[in-house]
Amino acid sequence: MLDSLNQKDGGKLPKTLSRNGSLIVSSIYDWTSGFFPGTLWFLYAQSGDSFWQAQAHRFTKLLNPVKDFYGHHDVGFIIMSSFGNGYRITGDSSYASVIVTAAHSLAKRFNPTVGAIQSWDVDKGWQRERGWKFPVIIDNVMNLELFFEATAISGDSTFYQMAVSHADVTLRNHFRTDYSCYHVVDYEPADGSVRTRQTAQGHSDSSSWARGQAWALYRYTMCYARTGLTRYLEQAKHIASFIINHPRLPEDKVPYWDFDSPDIPDTYRDASSAAIISSALLQLAGFVDAADAERYQTAARVILDNLSAEPYLAEPKKNSGFLLKHSVGSIPHGNEIDVPLSYADYYYLEALLRDVETTK
């Protein structure tokens, strides 16, 4: 993959493959741009090889301008997967400075009346066509780690307070009684009331989009790790049970792209959701009693065993360097269907490293 990137625009990051198998790259402002640098940091952390450290720093440095960007909510995804991992692994103070600056940028999207970060702007494109005023997607909880880390670095509790507010508003409004979640909740910015609950990437407004469930599990686990607030731990446990015990979760525990797709079993699996779920379950296992920990670790390892073999794991020197096959970006938009994705690889490697830590 490094060789492929060296033959392309040096300021781009790998994202996926086209239908003909050629590498598709993204700008630094695409929500996926931090995952390749993060993957390189994982390789360095595991190997100790200075080559990977140099490559990780090289691609992380490309993303420096994102610290001043607030055109969408995904600043947290971009910065924490790249600079966040770099800071965690090396302690480089220049990375810490970027994290705090980026948190200030993301804070511009926080509405104190709603108590949440606005996900998308609504003045153009398909978002405008939906008639939304203040859309918040379940994915947005993933950006809260940027706020928690900025408080840890700077001591400024404002970021922490915004993160907790967003997590609480999402917990209150995004979840159904079975702990599945809506993809999009649109708010009235003037008074914070809920206008609609819909989807953009799931099968329907009432369905359970698999990656949405994965994001929710992953970040409520993280919110507990960062705050110690038991409501987040309980929420993560409920979401985990929804996923693990779902009657339409296949035996290999690699979910269909939506748990309620009418085409099951003749529809697409999503390796990216599986990777995120496995990583989240392994972290969650560290916060619960022995019985639940064993249940979560067992499920995570079933996922990892299956992702680490055909048909999901690519053969060496194929798949343009991506590790995993068979992920889904957005079926309703016709984008990235049954292809490798940079974030599938990222969370797969993270899960493998977490599994190594639990077995030491």
- What percent of the chain is predicted at pLDDT more than 70? 99
d(CA 159, CA 164): 9
Write out the DSSP string of 157-179: HHHHHHHHHHHHHHHHHSB-TTS
For the full predicted model, state whether its pTM sits above 0.75: yes
Burial of 18 (0-12, 13-18, 19+ CB in 10 A): exposed
Q: What residue segments make up the domains of the chain, in order of their start?
A: 1-108, 109-200, 210-360
Encoded tokens for 82: 């790249």
DSSP 192-240: --EEEEE-SSSSSTTS-BHHHHHHHHHHHHHHHHHH--HHHHHHHHHHH
Please provide the average confidence, as pLDDT, over all residues in the chain: 96
Other CB atoms within a 10 A radius of the CB of residue 24 amount to: 14
Instruction: Read off φ and ψ for residue 47, nearest 5 degrees.
Output: -95, -30
What CATH architecture is 210-360?
Alpha/alpha barrel (1.50)
**Tens of pLDDT along 45-95?**
999 999 999 999 999 999 999 999 999 999 999 999 999 999 999 999 999
Mind listing the pLDDT tens digit for each residue in 297-337? 999 999 999 999 999 999 998 899 999 999 999 999 999 99
- What's the length of the chain? 360
Tell me the CA distances in angstroms from 77 to 28, 49, 83, one per residue in order.
Answer: 12, 25, 10
Q: Is 30 a catalytic residue?
A: no
Rounded Cα–Cα distance for residues 286 and 291 (Å)? 11
In the residue annotation, 263 being an active-site residue is answered as no
Strand partners, 339: 327
Options 30, 74, 186, 258, the catalytic residue: 74
Q: Which of 3, 49, 92, 139 is catalytic?
A: 139
**Model pLDDT for residues 220-237, shown as the tens digit of each residue:** 999 999 999 999 999 999
